[in-house]
Amino acid sequence: MRVVVIDYNGGNLASAAQAARKAASLSDISADVTITRDADAILNADRLILPGQGAFADCAAGLGADLRSTLETATANGTPFLGICVGMQLMCEYGLEHGRTEGLGWIPGHIRRMDEAADAGLRLPHMGWNTLDFEPGAHLLTKGLTPGIHGYFVHSYALHDGAADDLVASANYGAQVPAIVARGNRCGTQFHVEKSQSVGLTIMGNFLRWEK
């Protein structure tokens, strides 16, 4: 299996690649995991992973027009895609961190500051372990997991006005926070799967076993 971690000059690339390798080993999947922005490698990959760390605008700028076009082509052709943290946020229509920035437009909704959490007296960024709520068996990504498990979050911005049909799992931090979203072969986690220990490795393994 050819797994490509998208290199957009952002952070957490090596951690995401290492998590993919470990999940593949635990799932008895022979996987070649590379970090690259090479268009041919992306178009010929069996799985695509886009980590995200930092501000929405910076991560979007790192993709640039060429990578956006390549990702659009690859995923439109059915290659499974996993966005992590800001990588998930980039799947939406636009973000409002440091001004309005266009996202990939794969799912409805926009990214804005978690004002509900701040209004409730909660600290931002939302940092640390939080429970995940979901319907067991509703999506392959949560196979083998039970509601109430924990993911590791680090963010001050979240998806708002998304589609209910795209929501796989949520957390609560002053309000409902979309934690896993999926539409077709494109999915994402707001929490860091690469930092979420056994839960994250299970989700990553489920992603690697995802059939086109």
* Exposure string over 16-38, b if 16+ CB within 10 A, otherwise e: bbebbbbbbeeeebebebebebe
Q: What integer is the mean pLDDT of 55-62? A: 93
Report whether 84 contacts 179 (CB < 8 A): no
pLDDT exceeds cutoff 90 at 9:
no
Per-residue model confidence (pLDDT) at position 212: 58
Residue 181 near residue 136, CB atoms below 8 Å: no
- pLDDT score, position 101: 96
Average pLDDT estimate for 8-37: 94
pLDDT in tens, 77-136: 999 999 999 999 999 999 999 899 999 999 999 999 999 999 999 999 999 999 999 999
pLDDT at 12: 83
User: Active-site positions?
Assistant: 85, 192, 194
pTM of the model as a whole: 0.97
For residues 130 and 169, the answer to whether their CB atoms sit within 8 Å is no
